Amino acid sequence: MRQATVERKTKETEISVALDLDGSGEYSIATGVGFLDHMLEQLSRHSLIDLKVRASGDTHIDFHHTTEDTGIAIGEAFARALGDLKGITRYGSATIPMDETLTRVNLDVSNRPYLIWKVTFTKPKLGDMDTELFKEWFQAFAQAAGVTLHVENIYGENNHHMVESCFKGLARALRQAIEIDPRKSDAIPSTKGVLGGSL
């Protein structure tokens, strides 16, 4: 069973995450940040990863710590659920249109965390959330999950569409990458026999 739970508690946030990589996209999300909840719901639904998130944090200051720590906790749960990475397809890619917006996401579930973020927003906020925090979430997730992640907004005008297409692209790429390869279900997808470390 590719499932995991994570409890993360700091002086700034308290977060619990439960996920099932082989779910059906069921979710229950409550972070205290409405727009982040909406994005995590998209992540779950389009990846088919069942996801439960509860978070409380110092949102009276701003949403930075809650956003970043939620990314860390989900990434840690993702990595735990995958275990030794045996049998996975490993690579995933998605190009997501959303009205006038087109975003491309490519990733490698490699245990080598890295983020390339080519997304430029034209507004400082979406609702009450600073748009600069979306990069922080993706960075935190990639680092904790051990994923090489490239996110590129090719074009777009509506900032809501831009960020939503990023999360949907991540979801679809993850769904592809974590599928078990029926031709190599018993093998680590690397000539080294292990994922992580140097090329």
Average pLDDT, the chain: 93
Instruction: Give one DSSP letter per residue of 118-153, joined into a string.
Output: E---SSSEETTEETTHHHHHHHHHHHHHTEEEEEEE
Segment 49-58 shows an average pLDDT of 96
Other CB atoms within 10 Å distance of the CB of residue 109: 26
The reported pLDDT for the residue numbered 86 is: 86
With 0-12 / 13-18 / 19 or more C-beta atoms within 10 angstroms meaning exposed / middle / buried, residue 115 is: middle
The number of beta carbons lying within 10 Å of the beta carbon of residue 190 is 14
- Topology (CATH level 3) of domain 3-177: Ribosomal Protein S5; domain 2 (3.30.230)
Looking from the CA of 187 toward its CB, the CA atoms found within 13 Å total: 10
Q: pLDDT tens across 147-163, in order?
A: 999 999 999 999 999 99
Q: Could you tell me the pTM of the whole model?
A: 0.93
How high is the pLDDT of residue 12?
93
Task: Give domain limits for the chain.
Answer: 3-177
pLDDT per residue as tens digits for the range 20-47: 999 999 999 999 999 999 999 999 999 9
Q: What is the mean pLDDT of residues 80-96?
A: 94
